[in-house]
Amino acid sequence: MSKPGRQIVEETPKPLTGALLSEFERNLDPKKRLTIPSAWRHALGSDYVYVMKEAGKPCLNIIPKGVFESRMEGLQEEALTDDDLNDVLESVGEDAELLEFDVQGRIRISDRLLAYANLKGTVVMKGAVRMARIWAPENVPQRTEVESENLRAAKRKLRF
């Protein structure tokens, strides 16, 4: 016989439920908030998202909460015995933020990360399937013929 009462259920991160596709141009509002496209919010599968610097590129990555946390979970166990990995995790910790969407689907990225990617006014958000990138318009890389051939090869491999 079970006792009446509330059952406590731990919330587990939702996996990526869709792909982050396409390209969007948005403006930071006067409070420097960025509206994430509604299709992406649904694909992210959570009210939270991680934003972090992209090493070697003047842009920021938007990473789904479930994807980021599942990758970090395995690394944290390994880090117990690996000093180099601890250094890597420290760098990630310094360069990432967990942000919650407000009721209008906006996030407020810190001034420090906005400055890293030179994001002011208009920004370009480019889907990269499992994550997305946020660029200043003047920093968006142009697709080269080599990248176009890589896309053709990827489509063949994926049988698209």
pLDDT, position 146: 62
- The vertex-105 CA angle with 96 and 52, nearest 5°, equals 10
Sequence-distant (≥ 6) Cβ neighbours of residue 26 within 8 angstroms: 34, 35, 37, 122, 123, 125
Does 152 fall in a domain? no
d(CA 135, CA 126): 8
Does 105 fall in a domain? yes
Does 11 fall in a domain? no
Q: Provide the whole-model pTM.
A: 0.77
Q: In this predicted model, what pLDDT tens digit does every residue of 20-53 receive, in sequence order?
A: 999 999 999 999 999 999 989 988 888 999 999 9
Does 148 fall in a domain? no
Q: In this predicted model, what pLDDT tens digit does every residue of 134-154 receive, in sequence order?
A: 999 999 988 766 667 777 887
Does 142 fall in a domain? no
CATH number at residue 118: 3.40.1550.20
Domain range for residue 50? 23-136
State mean pLDDT over 110-133: 95
Q: In this predicted model, what pLDDT tens digit does every residue of 46-76 receive, in sequence order?
A: 899 999 999 899 999 999 998 888 888 877 7
155 touches 139 (CB < 8 A) = no
Q: How many domains does the chain have?
A: 1
Does 77 fall in a domain? yes
Q: How confident is the model at residue 92 (pLDDT cuts 50, 70, 90)?
A: confident
d(CA 131, CA 15): 12
pLDDT, position 12: 45
